[in-house]
Amino acid sequence: MLKFLSHIFTWWNDYTLGTKLFTWRKGEFVGSDEQGNRYYRERGGKRRWVIYNGEVEASRIPPEWHLWLHYISDTPPTEKPLPRKPWEKPHVPNPTGTDRAYFPPGSLAVEGARRKAIGDYEPWTPESTQTAG
């Protein structure tokens, strides 16, 4: 029951009931990515959208699908995949705000001390302030 209510009133947990109905009535399935996100376009129309598999987070959309969703490419990656370079790594969503986020040494979330500043950096102290007199 709670999941049904969340589909009616919220969009950030998954799709809304309106999106599901629109997809059922007018959507044409185009393909899915390695994360299970499903991509649709309107039959006979111009709209394109994604139904996320899990958390609704834009950084979870791979570059090739981003191009198609934003009309940079007319052909979906399922019909004409982007060429892959040998040095390219697989797409990874932005981990900011998750347990996988990067925390430098000395930050409040990680034990340890920050490296000492080197070079010409001098931190401000009240004693170093000179008043014009």
Q: Per the structure, how many domains does the chain have? A: 1
Whether the Cβ atoms of residue 31 and residue 23 lie closer than 8 Å to each other: no
Q: pTM for this one?
A: 0.67
Query: What whole-number distance in Å separates Cα of residue 57 and Cα of residue 19?
Result: 16
What are the b/e assignments for 90-115, b being 16+ CB within 10 Å? Answer: ebeeeeeeeeeeeeeeeeeeeeeeee
Q: Which amino acid is at 86?
A: P
The residue segments making up the domain with residue 53 are 22-80
**What is the end-to-end Cα distance of the chain in Å, rounded?**
73
Query: What whole-number distance in Å separates Cα of residue 32 and Cα of residue 80?
Result: 14
pLDDT tens, per residue, the chain with 133 residues: 666 665 556 555 566 778 888 889 999 999 999 999 999 999 987 899 999 988 888 899 999 999 999 999 999 999 999 898 999 988 888 888 888 888 887 788 777 777 776 766 777 888 766 665 5
Whether 99 is covered by a domain: the verdict is no
